[in-house]
């Protein structure tokens, strides 16, 4: 990317993305610690993560719709402030119920920020660089998880989970910086001059004949990817404990697995402009499914680390492809709504995945069986993209109507 202004936007949006990932990543470690200090059952752990995801579903739908009405910048800042404050207040939660309420509001902010940030960046870069730039934006997610893993490894065992929530409130100060250092995309600014579609008109638009198939594919893709990701990764530290490792040891292993996300993103960023969006999504999701099955069956330290690292590599590379692909299927007047509602439907999977794992673990269902469920669900997403998905590489969605 040669344009300094576009590079600055990518970095600024990427840091907000990093904070989002840091919050969600720390939650997975905090829950593992909470399960010990508050004596939470597996069903309660599943419920807490599910409530966070319910908030993310609500936030994605609302923020996407509001971003088409009020602008990408304003909604991005609002979601960043919301999840930061809710996370910070979580540090003084005195009961499981209060923590669940706070995590719902944090989820609204977290879920809202991601589709708005990806839409803003996608609209602000040249078509020929769009896919690669969005995957690079997504790579900040891995950095956020690494920060979460480092904080959790050094802070939680020594100072407790409440301090981790306090650290999670710091992004509110970043919002003050962003207010002066980002602006709405040129596409949105130009489109503002035209008459805007109403909320129900935008919903009808994304399900109209020219976009119906794309919306259908996106909703299946998002549901299967988010269902499997949150079902697997929010439980990762706890799964390592279930496999016989100490809490601190599980934190170490998850940190190592998280490092594999970065090359996953960077290889996807290379392939996405060379071979296309469908190639990246189908290839990376297929191997995500294979590695999920392998991880569930793994019993030794070597196979756990190797399968977990490859699971991170392929899964997060696929996420990058999905975020690049989604905004390219809609024109500017309904783009954030289309992205937001696809993400919101996906977050329903993010609700069901962790909750289902909690229920199955509580019922003493074996880990290989649980990960087989994720294996099958991911393959459904692969089939949807392979057989019904459109290729969008090099296409300007504002220049086509079907």
Identify the pLDDT of residue 314. Answer: 96
Angle between helices 42-70 and 4-37 (to 10 degrees): 160
Q: How far apart are CA 329 and CA 210, in angstroms?
A: 10
pLDDT given for residue 110 in this prediction: 93
What distance in Å separates the CA atoms of residue 351 and residue 60, rounded to the nearest whole number? 13
pLDDT score at 62? 95
Domain ranges of the chain: 4-180+198-388
208 DSSP assignment? S
Q: Virtual CA dihedral for 190, 195, 198, 202, nearest 10 degrees?
A: -50
Q: What is the pLDDT of residue 76?
A: 94
DSSP string, 375-401: HHHHHHHHHHHHHHPPP-TT--TTS--
Cα 237–Cα 242–Cα 243 angle in degrees, nearest 5:
95
Q: Is 320 exposed, middle or buried (0-12, 13-18, 19+ CB in 10 A)?
A: buried
For domain 4-180+198-388, which architecture applies? Up-down Bundle (1.20)
Nearest to 128 by CA among 3, 15, 313: 3
Digit-by-digit pLDDT tens for the chain (402 residues) are: 567 888 899 999 999 999 998 998 888 778 878 888 888 887 788 788 778 889 999 999 999 999 998 999 999 999 999 999 999 999 999 899 999 999 999 999 999 999 999 999 999 988 888 899 999 998 998 889 888 888 887 888 888 889 999 999 999 999 989 988 888 888 888 876 666 778 899 999 999 999 999 999 999 999 999 999 888 877 776 777 777 766 556 667 777 777 888 899 999 999 999 999 999 999 999 999 999 999 988 888 788 889 989 999 999 999 999 999 999 999 988 999 999 999 999 989 988 887 788 888 888 888 899 999 999 999 999 999 999 999 999 888 876 554
Q: To 5 degrees, how large is the angle CA 183–CA 188–CA 190?
A: 105
The pLDDT, as a whole number, for residue 251 is 66
pLDDT of residue 250: 67
Taking the C-alpha atoms of residue 3 and residue 170, their distance in angstroms, rounded to an integer, is: 30
């Amino acid at each position: 990317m040669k344009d300094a202004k576009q590079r600055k936007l990518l970095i600024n949006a990427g840091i907000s993305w990093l904070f989002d990932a840091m919050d969600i990543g720390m939650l997975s470690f905090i829950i593992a610690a909470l399960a010990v200090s508050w004596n939470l059952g597996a069903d309660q752990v599943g419920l807490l993560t599910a409530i966070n995801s319910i908030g993310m579903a609500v936030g994605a739908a609302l923020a996407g719709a509001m971003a088409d009405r009020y602008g990408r910048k304003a909604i991005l800042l609002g979601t960043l402030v919301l999840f930061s404050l809710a996370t910070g207040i979580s540090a003084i939660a005195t009961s499981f119920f209060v923590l669940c309420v706070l995590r719902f509001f944090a989820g609204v902010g977290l879920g809202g920020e991601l589709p708005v940030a990806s839409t803003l960046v996608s609209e602000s870069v040249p078509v020929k660089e769009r896919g690669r730039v969005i995957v690079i934006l997504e790579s900040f997610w891995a950095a956020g998880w690494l920060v979460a893993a480092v904080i959790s490894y050094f802070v939680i065992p020594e100072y407790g989970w409440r301090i981790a929530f306090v650290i999670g409130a710091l992004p509110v100060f970043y919002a003050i910086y962003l207010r002066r250092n980002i602006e709405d995309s040129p596409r949105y600014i130009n489109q503002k001059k035209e008459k805007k579609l109403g909320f129900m008109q935008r919903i009808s638009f994304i399900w109209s004949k020219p976009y119906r198939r794309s919306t259908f594919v996106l909703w299946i893709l998002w549901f299967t990817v988010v269902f499997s990701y949150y079902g697997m990764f929010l439980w990762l530290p706890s799964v390592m404990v279930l496999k016989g490792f100490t809490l601190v040891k599980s934190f170490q292993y998850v940190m190592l697995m998280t490092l594999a996300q970065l090359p996953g993103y960077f290889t996807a960023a290379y392939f996405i402009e060379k071979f296309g969006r469908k190639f990246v999504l189908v290839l990376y999701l297929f191997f995500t499914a294979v590695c999920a099955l392998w991880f569930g069956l793994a019993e030794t330290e070597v196979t756990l680390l190797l399968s977990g690292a490859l699971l991170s590599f392929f899964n997060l590379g696929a996420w990058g492809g999905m975020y690049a692909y989604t905004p390219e299927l809609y024109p500017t007047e309904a783009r954030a709504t289309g992205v937001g509602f696809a993400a919101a439907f996906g977050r329903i999977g993010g609700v069901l995945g962790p909750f289902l794992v909690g229920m199955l673990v509580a019922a003493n269902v074996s880990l290989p069986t649980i990960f087989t469920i994720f294996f099958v669900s991911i393959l459904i997403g692969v089939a949807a993209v392979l057989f019904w998905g459109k290729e969008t590489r090099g296409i300007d969605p504002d220049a086509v109507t079907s």
